[in-house]
Amino acid sequence: WDYFFTQYEDYKGLVDELRFWDRARTPEELAAQWDVGLRGDEAGLVGWFDFAARDGEVFRDRLDPTRVLHLHRAGPEAHAPEGAPL
């Protein structure tokens, strides 16, 4: 892409979920596991935000519901109607 985001720009694209791990994943791990569903008890998984489950613009971590993301302009009108691959 030869491009980076600054604090003044919005991400424009589709995201189904956001996963946080206790270490950086290798390119090989990402390529092999990007479409594998989670159970929630995977080793090293420390955060998992499923964007299908929402309360307005608030998204809760499936591992610890006290952790939340507030995503600007992520209300129902920004939700794509097509299903995710998982």
Task: Give the model confidence (pLDDT) of 45-55 as tens digits.
Answer: 999 998 777 77
DSSP state of 83: P
Paired tokens of 23: 């270490």
Q: What confidence tier does 1 reach under pLDDT thresholds 50, 70, 90?
A: very low
CA-based end-to-end distance of the chain:
26
Q: How many C-beta atoms lie closer than 10 Å to residue 47's C-beta?
A: 15
- Phi, psi at residue 38, to the nearest 5°? -100, 155
pLDDT tens digits, one per residue of 34-77: 888 899 999 999 999 987 777 778 889 999 999 988 877 666 66
* Tokens linked to 7: 């604090």
